[in-house]
Structure 1
Amino acid sequence: MKLLNNLTVRVLLAITLGILTGYFFPETAAKLKPLGDLFINLIKMVIAPIIFLTIVLGISNMGDLKKVGRVGGKALLYFEIVTTGALAIGLILANVIRPGDGVQTAAVKGGDISKYTEQGAGMDWTEFFLHIVPSNAVKAFAEGDILQVLVFSMLFGVGLTRMGEKGKPLIQTFERLSNVFFNILGVVMVLAPLGAFGGMAFTIGKYGLSTLLPLAKLMGTVYATMILFIFIILNLILRYYKISLWAVLKFIKEELLIVLGTSSSESALPQIMDKLETLGCSRSVVGLVVPAGYSFNLDGTTIYLVMATIFLAQVFGVDLTIGQELTIIGILMVTSKGAAGVTGSGFIVLASTLTAIKVIPVEGLALLLGVDRFMSEARSITNIIGNTVATIFIANNEGEFDRAKYERVLKQEAENELADYKY
Structure 2
Amino acid sequence: MPSFGRAAKAGPGADTAPAQPKKPIYRHLYFWVLVGIALGIAVGLLFPAQAAGMRWLADLFIALVKVVIAPTIFCTVAVGIAGMGNLAKAGGLAMRTMVYFTATTIVALALGLITVNIMQPGVGLNMSFDEADAADTIAAVEGTETGVSGFLMQIVPDSFFSAFVDGQLLQVLLLAVLVACALTMLGRRGEPAVRALDTMSHIMFGVIKIVMFTAPIGAFGGMAFTIGEHGSKVLGSLAFFMLSFYITCVVFIVVVLGLIARVAGFSLFKMIRLIRDELLIVLGTSSSESVLPRMMVKMEAAGVRKSTVGLTIPTGYSFNLDGTAIYMAMGAIFIAQATGSEISVWTQIGLLVFMVISSNGAAGVSGAGLVTLAASLAAFGDVIPLAGIALIVGIDRFMSEARALTNLTGNAVGTLVMGRWTGTLDRERLREVLDNPNSIDMDALMSYEKDEDGPAAQSPEGAPANGTADAAADGAADASEGGDRTPAEVKGS
TM-score range, shorter chain: over 0.9
One-letter amino acid of the structure 2 residue matched with residue 63 of structure 1: G
**What is aligned with 1:76?**
98
**What is aligned with 1:196?**
219
**What is aligned with 2:387?**
363
Is 1:30 aligned to 2:52, yes or no?
yes
One-letter amino acid of the structure 2 residue matched with residue 265 of structure 1: S
Task: Show CA shifts across 1:331-378 (max 9, x none).
Answer: 211222242222123332222222222112222211101110000000
One-letter amino acid of the structure 1 residue matched with residue 278 of structure 2: E
**Pairwise CA RMSD:** 2.0
Is 1:113 aligned to 2:134, yes or no?
yes
**What is aligned with 2:423?**
399
Work out the CA distance in 1 between the residues paired with 2:198 and 2:78. Answer: 10
Q: Does the residue aligned with 2:412 lie in a helix, a strand or coil? A: helix
Shift, 1:231, TM fit: 0.7
- Going from structure 1 to structure 2, the CA distance change for 1:352 and 1:268 (only over 3 Å counts) comes to same
Q: Does the residue aligned with 1:113 lie in a helix, a strand or coil? A: helix
**What is aligned with 2:274?**
251
* Alignment match of 2:342 (pick from 319, 326, 340): 319
TM-score by length of 2: 0.81
Work out the CA distance in 2 between the residues paired with 1:66 and 1:213. Answer: 55
Q: Provide structure 1 residue ranges, at least 5 long, that are not aligned to the other structure.
A: none
Shift, 1:111, TM fit: 5.5
Shift, 1:176, TM fit: 2.5
In the TM superposition, structure 1's runs of 4+ consecutive aligned residues that sit over 6 Å from their partners are none
Task: Show CA shifts across 1:166-190 (max 9, x none).
Answer: 2222322333222222122111111
Shift, 1:230, TM fit: 0.5
2:39–2:220 CA contact under 8 A, matched in 1: yes
Shift, 1:137, TM fit: 1.5
Is 1:62 aligned to 2:79, yes or no?
no
Work out the CA distance in 1 between the residues paired with 2:200 and 2:145. Answer: 38
* Alignment match of 2:177 (pick from 127, 130, 154): 154
**What is aligned with 1:171?**
194
* Alignment match of 2:405 (pick from 343, 364, 381): 381
**What is aligned with 1:291?**
314
Work out the CA distance in 1 between the residues paired with 2:126 and 2:158. Answer: 48
Work out the CA distance in 2 between the residues paired with 1:56 and 1:341. Answer: 20
Of 244-253 and 167-176, deviating more is 167-176
Work out the CA distance in 1 between the residues paired with 2:373 and 2:385. Answer: 11
1:110–1:369 CA contact under 8 A, matched in 2: no
Work out the CA distance in 2 between the residues paired with 1:7 and 1:383. Answer: 21
1:59–1:154 CA contact under 8 A, matched in 2: yes
Work out the CA distance in 1 between the residues paired with 2:336 and 2:325. Answer: 17
- Going from structure 1 to structure 2, the CA distance change for 1:302 and 1:177 (only over 3 Å counts) comes to same
**What is aligned with 2:151?**
128
1:212–1:371 CA contact under 8 A, matched in 2: no
Compare the two structures and name the one with the higher helix fraction: 1
2:41–2:224 CA contact under 8 A, matched in 1: yes
**Number of residue pairs the alignment of both structures matches:** 417
* Alignment match of 2:74 (pick from 27, 52, 69): 52
Work out the CA distance in 2 between the residues paired with 1:332 and 1:276. Answer: 29
2:322–2:407 CA contact under 8 A, matched in 1: yes
Work out the CA distance in 2 between the residues paired with 1:313 and 1:286. Answer: 40
**What is aligned with 2:263?**
240
* Alignment match of 1:390 (pick from 414, 422, 427): 414
Work out the CA distance in 1 between the residues paired with 2:82 and 2:386. Answer: 48
1:79–1:293 CA contact under 8 A, matched in 2: yes
Q: Percent identity?
A: 42
1:72–1:288 CA contact under 8 A, matched in 2: yes
Q: Provide structure 2 residue ranges, at least 5 long, that are not aligned to the other structure.
A: 1-22, 442-460, 462-493
